[in-house]
Amino acid sequence: MRRPLAGMLVLTAAVAALKPCALAMSALRFGRTVLLIDIVAVYGRDAIVLLATLAVVSLPALIVKGASVAGVRVPATSLQGLSNLLAGLCLALTAYYLIAGYAFWEWGAFINRHEIKAAIRARAVAGVVAYALSVKLALVLALTALAVAMVALLSRWLARAGRPPKVARTLAAALAVAAFGLAPQLSGGGGGDPALSSPVIQAVAPQPFHSDGLPGDWPRPSLADFRLPAPGGTIKAEEASLFGAADGLDVIIVVLESVRRASLGLYGRARDPMPNLTRLSEHGIVFTNAYVNQPRSCKTMASLMLGIYPDPRLRALTWQDERMEGHESLLSRLRERGYSSYFGIMADHDADNYTAFLQAVSGGLDRAVGFEELGPSARPTVTTGDDLILIEDYLGWYQRQAGPSVAVLWLMGAHFPYDAHRKSFAENDIVDRYDNCLYASDVAIGALFAELERMGRSERVLALVLADHGEALAEKTGDTIHGKLFYDYSVRVPCVLLGRGVFSKAQQCSARFQVKDLTATLLSLLGDPSGMRQSQNIFGKHPDDPIYMSNVFQDFKLAKLAGSEKFVFRPGIRASYLYDTSEDAEEATNRIDRLDREEIQRRQRELLQWYYYQIEYLEREFPPVP
């Protein structure tokens, strides 16, 4: 029993050191208020974990004692192998606690089950581990080596002292006392600080996949001093001359599902999985600073059509078509000007209730298609179909239109799990699989514009190509698919305006904006100066203009990007992060310790003000149906 017990003592020492450090980080690094009852309760959950581990570690001694009573001889090699295995288990748990301590330093919470599952599902465990250990790798290795050395020394001491049973009983008693720290948590008297959770329990306990905003009893701050930010720039003469430049042209909005800005050659990447889009941008404006408000498709749809910040919670206006009936939208404005309308998506056309929503806000779509309408060949074997099938259906409809038309084409090629219909790259990892999906969607874009050229219509079209949100490919611990925080790969998106008849050369626009601002910008290009709701003309914005964001994946989060500073608030665990993108483009280092507690609280309050302001604005603008 000596080696397993020695490993158990080392594990206990690691936990004993980690938990007070985590509580100190909560107070000093993340500005949380730590109560006396939190200090009492800090070891409660981990004491239960350690008691269970001690019971497992005691197996060799129990086996020997049982065998002795039964008069059976247990092979020494078998006992030795079991002892080594249990000692290794204790060392593995010790290493995990060390990694968990680093995670707490960075994010103010321990790694949870979803993050671990996401990393495994993305086949990116090695990359996740490399990231998790990056800055602290030498420290973690040194501490792990120290733990191994301590196990060896303790094993020798226990052998000389000949008192393993007494040590085990003493340890069990100490852990049982520490477990009483659970009492105030279970009675509702404490347990609010994330440091009180156990890294091991966090790794196995069920976690919500998403949340619907703040709890209903969350204190609402006063909105008396809150104002949405005004554009920080002015419209220059060259951009002002674009007013009405696309008047009467056909409008095509191509939405790229789950496409990251940084993955495109258009934005400087050496490998270009979307060369057609890059080539087409020679007659267009490439926007370098476009952001979504929340990395979810339904939020982008609502923002684009209605010119609003979407509801910051889980719920979406696209799900509430009865509530949206008759309200003005981008499509209804164009319909008033004689435009026919088309909506197509390479998914079920009622996904996120898009078709019913667009019917409600447009005054009626002339054609809406999804898998069912596009036929059996469109339905995929996994999640996404071949975008070319949608392009062919649209072009057939477009040729039959006598007057101007507007189309929304939602290309789903890059949606998880990244099974491309056409491939250009050898698939060695998740990035290669994802790039092939981008390539497949780019083939569809190339086919669309090639046919418009053949029809002699390329100069009669204004096209907007944008992504509904970005995508996480496990660059950060357990962060995959749409992303659970606000890293640029999730919220910063490609966005391009194309039109041979409007733009004579390639241009760039560095103004920072969100999807809602595309509504007013498109209307201005089409000769409509009146804008729409919260939408602001992009050409009047500045590269440092502030923007607000929310994220509902796992726990609820709010963020503001102003200048180069991205401030993130996780109300559920009372954690805040600060990233300075001017000096830390990878957003690898949390700089929250640059702010004092008063400034952290001020920024948290501003985000809560925006949250409540926007919910109340939407309830006034689109009254709920009784």
509, 538 Cβ separation under 8 angstroms: yes
**Position with higher pLDDT, 551 vs 143:** 551
360, 625 Cβ separation under 8 angstroms: no
Q: Residue 128: pLDDT band by 50, 70, 90 thresholds?
A: very low
Tokens of 103: 């995670």
**Position with higher pLDDT, 319 vs 63:** 319
Query: Stretch 64-72: mean pLDDT, rounded?
Result: 65
Q: Between vectors from CA 529 to CA 525 and to CA 535, what angle results, nearest 5°?
A: 85
Q: Using the 8-state DSSP alphabet, how is residue 222 labeled?
A: P
Tokens of 93: 């748990």
pLDDT value of residue 116: 66
Q: Residue 382: pLDDT band by 50, 70, 90 thresholds?
A: low
pLDDT value of residue 165: 65
pLDDT value at 185 more than 60:
no
Q: Residue 122: pLDDT band by 50, 70, 90 thresholds?
A: very low
Rounded (10°) CA dihedral 514, 516, 522, 528? -130
**Position with higher pLDDT, 582 vs 181:** 582
pLDDT value of residue 144: 66
Rounded (10°) CA dihedral 582, 583, 586, 589? -120
pLDDT value at 463 more than 90:
yes
pLDDT value at 578 more than 90:
yes
pLDDT value at 119 more than 50:
yes
Residue 354 and residue 500: Cα distance in Å, rounded? 30
pLDDT > 70: what percent of the chain? 82
Burial class (CB in 10 A: 0-12, 13-18, 19+), 347: buried
Query: Stretch 231-260: mean pLDDT, rounded?
Result: 91
Q: Residue 287: pLDDT band by 50, 70, 90 thresholds?
A: very high
Query: Stretch 224-230: mean pLDDT, rounded?
Result: 90
Rounded (10°) CA dihedral 393, 398, 401, 402? -160
What letter represents residue 155's amino acid?
S
Residue 426 and residue 612: Cα distance in Å, rounded? 48
**Position with higher pLDDT, 420 vs 340:** 340
81-95 tens-digit pLDDT: 877 888 888 888 888
Query: Stretch 304-331: mean pLDDT, rounded?
Result: 95
User: Average per-residue pLDDT in the chain?
Assistant: 85
Q: Residue 489: pLDDT band by 50, 70, 90 thresholds?
A: very high
pLDDT value of residue 124: 45
Contacts (Cβ under 8 Å, ≥6 apart) of 510: 288, 289, 543
**Position with higher pLDDT, 124 vs 496:** 496
Residue 467 and residue 465: Cα distance in Å, rounded? 7
pLDDT value of residue 429: 86
**Position with higher pLDDT, 121 vs 441:** 441
pLDDT value of residue 117: 62
Q: Residue 478: pLDDT band by 50, 70, 90 thresholds?
A: low
**Position with higher pLDDT, 253 vs 200:** 253
* Of 532, 424, 521, the residue nearest 466 (C-alpha): 521
Rounded (10°) CA dihedral 594, 600, 603, 609? 170
Tokens of 7: 């490993």
pLDDT value of residue 189: 43
pLDDT value of residue 125: 47
541, 518 Cβ separation under 8 angstroms: no
pLDDT value of residue 131: 47
pLDDT value at 249 more than 70:
yes
Sorted by where each starts, the structural domains of the chain and their CATH numbers stand as 2-204 (no CATH), 237-497+529-621 (3.40.720.10)
What letter represents residue 27's amino acid?
A
Rounded to two decimals, what is the model's pTM?
Answer: 0.79
Residue 274 and residue 256: Cα distance in Å, rounded? 11
**Position with higher pLDDT, 198 vs 291:** 291
Measured CA to CA in angstroms, residue 462 lies from 199, 340, 458, 465 at distances of: 53, 15, 9, 10
pLDDT value of residue 371: 85
267, 550 Cβ separation under 8 angstroms: no
**Position with higher pLDDT, 44 vs 281:** 281
201, 38 Cβ separation under 8 angstroms: no
Name 508's bridge partners: 286
Kindly calculate the radius of gyration of the chain based on its CA atoms and give it in whole angstroms.
Answer: 29
Tokens of 557: 């989060």
Query: Stretch 434-442: mean pLDDT, rounded?
Result: 95
* Of 305, 12, 48, 24, the residue nearest 171 (C-alpha): 12
**Sign of the C-alpha dihedral computed for residues 501, 502, 503 and 508 taken in this order:** negative
